[in-house]
Amino acid sequence: MDLVPTPWQTVGPYLHIGMTNTHSVGCIAGPGVKGERVWLHLRLLDGDGIPVPDGMIEIWQANAEGKYNHPEDTTDTPVDDSFRGFGRMPTGEDGSCSFETIKPGRVIAPDGRLQAPHLNVGVFGRGLLKRLVTRIYFAGDTANASDPVLGLVPERLRRMLMAQPDGKPQSWRMDIHLCGEAETVFFDV
């Protein structure tokens, strides 16, 4: 008998078993963290637009001053000790998950230019042997026009990296499409 892995088996059906409330991190910025508080609502969809109920989304971001809470960020900017800078949530039956955080500050790119406020995103799910990496920018932010990474993305595809206001104060929404015509732009890192 040959055992051939199926897409469901590459990651396994065990993602949600390990993603208990103690391992999920939906609140990236606790009370008292400096910055503009935002709620980010994400939805993970397959190529047919069907929700992916067993995915996991991770977010890494800088604080309001543009500093990552990581030893490799050596910029001369203060670290906010109550700012986690990292979140991880499983997707629900409707493919969605939410994060409470702050709008990140502008980070200095390796070439010295300032990047627009953004969140770094990792997507995990069935059939994916490696995480998919993308970014989330905030639609309408004037800094988007000069962001060096966003400038590498063809203009017609940039909208796929933009979180949109969803009508509630400080609330943003974005769909992440794994493939298809509306596929989110993923980066090869």
Amino acid 71: pLDDT: 81
> In the chain, which stretches have pLDDT less than 50?
7-10
3-state secondary structure of 186: coil
Q: What is the pLDDT of residue 132?
A: 96
- The superfamily in CATH containing domain 7-177 is Aromatic compound dioxygenase (2.60.130.10)
Note the pTM of the prediction, 2 decimals: 0.88
pLDDT, tens only, 52-87: 998 999 999 999 999 998 888 888 888 888 888 999
The answer to whether the CB of 175 falls within 8 A of the CB of 45 is yes
pLDDT value at residue 69: 84
Whether 151 and 145 have beta carbons less than 8 Å apart is answered as no
Mean pLDDT over the full length of the chain: 89
Domain parsing of the chain, residue ranges: 7-177
